[in-house]
Amino acid sequence: MSLRDQFGEEPNRLAERTEMGGDAMAPELHPIDENLSPGTPELGEALKNFRASILAWSEAEYSRPRTAVKTVRQRSWRLAAGWALGCVLVAGGAGGAVYERHHRQELARMAAARAAESERLVAAERARVEEEDLLAKVDSDVSREVPSAMEPLARLMAEDEAK
């Protein structure tokens, strides 16, 4: 039996009923079910055309040669490629995040070390300056040109030189 026999030439059951005097789209409907009836000829025609288009489409698709094996292989290849790409992206993303975190931690550690070193240098410099100031002050406080016991001798030497 050909597909056309099964599909295309399939009798329109509703049309047959219409010929027998029934409503085209709701042959067995009770009057209270009038909402199920298309009502207008336009709607009835549209539904008839809708059915005809599906019959034609279905017949064309049904008789189209199938490439199931190829499609399945292609799909499985695509699926595998998709998974592989997904894994690479996830691994790359995770690796990148770990590296970024590690890098930031390293930078923070280095910055802290640099700050500590700079603070230590500043403190040392400040201590050196203070020590020098103190020594200078002590020197200025206690220092004389000659000890007091030697002052008469020094005065004599200055007079001799003047002569």
Partner 1 sequence: MAAGTALEAMTMATAEEIAARELETATEEFSRVVESHRPQIFRFLLALTRDADLAETLTQECLLKAHLNWGSFRGESSAMTWLMRIAINLQKDHWRNRRMQFWRRARTNAVDLDEASEWLPSGERSVEQQLLARERVGQVWKAVEGLSERQRTVFLLRYVEEMELSEIARATGLSEGTVKSHLSRAVARVRAELGGRR
Considering only residues 60 through 119, tell me which ones interact with partner 1, judged by CB under 8 A: 60-62, 64, 66, 68, 71
Which residues, including other chains, have CB under 8 Å from residue 38's CB and lie 6 or more apart?
Answer: 24, 25, 26, 44, 47
Encoded tokens for 14: 């509703």
Class of residue 161 by CB neighbours under 10 A (exposed 0-12, middle 13-18, buried 19+)? exposed
Region label for 39, one of left (φ > 0), alpha (ψ between -120 and 50) or beta (otherwise): left
In whole angstroms, how close is the CB of 110 to partner 1 at the nearest point? 42
- Considering only residues 19, 46, 110, 121, which one is a binding residue for partner 1 as defined by CB under 8 A? 46
Would you count residue 13 as binding partner 1 (CB under 8 A)? Answer: yes
Considering only residues 25 through 44, tell me which ones interact with partner 1, judged by CB under 8 A: 25, 28, 33, 35-40, 42-43
The site that binds partner 1 (CB under 8 A) totals a number of residues, namely 39
Q: What DSSP state is assigned to residue 9? A: T
In whole angstroms, how close is the CB of 27 to partner 1 at the nearest point? 9
The span from the CA of 99 to the CA of 97, in Å, is 5
- The stretch near partner 1 (CB under 8 A) out of 48-56, 104-112, 125-133, 141-149 is 48-56
Q: Is the dihedral of CA 80, 86, 92, 95 positive or negative?
A: negative
The type of residue at 46 is A
- The stretch near partner 1 (CB under 8 A) out of 56-64, 111-119, 126-134, 140-148 is 56-64
Binding site for partner 1 (CB under 8 A): 1, 3, 6-7, 12-14, 25, 28, 33, 35-40, 42-43, 45-47, 49-62, 64, 66, 68, 71
